[in-house]
Amino acid sequence: LVACNDDWCGLGSRVEWTPVVGRDYLLRVSGYNSQSGLFRLGLSGPDTLDEDCVQARTLGLGAHWVSLEAAHEIDGASSCGSSSPRPDRWFRFTAPALGTIRAKTCGTHDALGVDLGVDTVISWHASCPGNGGNELACSDDSSSCLQIGAIRDSEISAPINRAQTLFLRLSPYFPGIGDLVRLELSFDPANDDCGDAISIGEGLTLGSLVGATNDGSATCSGTPGPDVWYSYTAPVSGKL
């Protein structure tokens, strides 16, 4: 047995331990007094050096549970939410193509019960150290997130070029109120829709279907899948 807990936050439980690199661990979830039903299980950590912007952890697309509990240092500033004097964690994302990168913490503030979770502030930065001079977007209390209680979750987007890396600052509006954050990244290619086709010429064009949705079909393919669009204007007549 490594760790055990019952009733850490109301009737919810929480355990923490220091794992050994490369070792597998089994997590047992059981009902008190043989109770059964649905539950929410969040896993965050292990804590890394991502309290510093230059050591930001690479974060892939999708939803991630991260923790602010170990955030003790301040290594940046944001223009919204009075979060500049708060401890922070940093993440980085490198774009596979030209498009828009989105980050949101929707589902965080009500994760442990209505209004019991972290009140988050997030901001995108073009470089390190992250501050108001290189801030691209900042969000605190976004109404775009569906929330049961008070509006406290955040959502932002920023344009990004292919192979460009942006840095995401995550911090609490109020320190010490909860620690788990549901952080989700999504990417929208600039040419996801036919109406937004990117003009190209002869030669090699590097593209990506990461984050793409469907906006068309073809007679030579099966079920329509994700697609991106390009436009080409022929300079002369002939076979292309």
Q: Checking DSSP bridges between strand 89-94 and strand 57-58, what pairing results, if any?
A: parallel
CA atoms within 13 A on the CB side of 82: 4
pLDDT at position 102: 96
The 10s digit of each residue's pLDDT in 173-218 is 875 566 889 999 999 999 999 999 999 998 999 899 999 999 988 8
Largest interatomic CA distance in the chain? 79
pLDDT at position 48: 54
pLDDT band at 16 (very low <50, low <70, confident <90, very high): confident
Asked if residue 57 lies in contact with residue 66, where contact means CB atoms within 8 angstroms, the answer is no
> Strands, DSSP E only, in the chain?
57-58, 62-67, 89-94, 99-104, 120-125, 135-140, 155-160, 165-172, 180-189, 198-199, 230-231
pLDDT higher than 60, residue 49: no
Using a pLDDT cut of 70, give the percent of the chain over it.
92
pLDDT higher than 70, residue 148: yes
The 10s digit of each residue's pLDDT in 88-111 is 899 999 999 999 999 999 999 888
| Per-residue tokens: 96 | 């596979």
Asked if residue 197 lies in contact with residue 191, where contact means CB atoms within 8 angstroms, the answer is yes
Asked if residue 112 lies in contact with residue 180, where contact means CB atoms within 8 angstroms, the answer is yes
Angstrom distance (rounded) from CA 95 to CA 226: 17
pLDDT at position 123: 95
Of 36-45, 60-69, 157-166, the poorest mean pLDDT is in 36-45
pTM confidence score: 0.76
Sign of CA dihedral 39, 121, 157, 145: positive
pLDDT at position 104: 96
pLDDT band at 116 (very low <50, low <70, confident <90, very high): confident
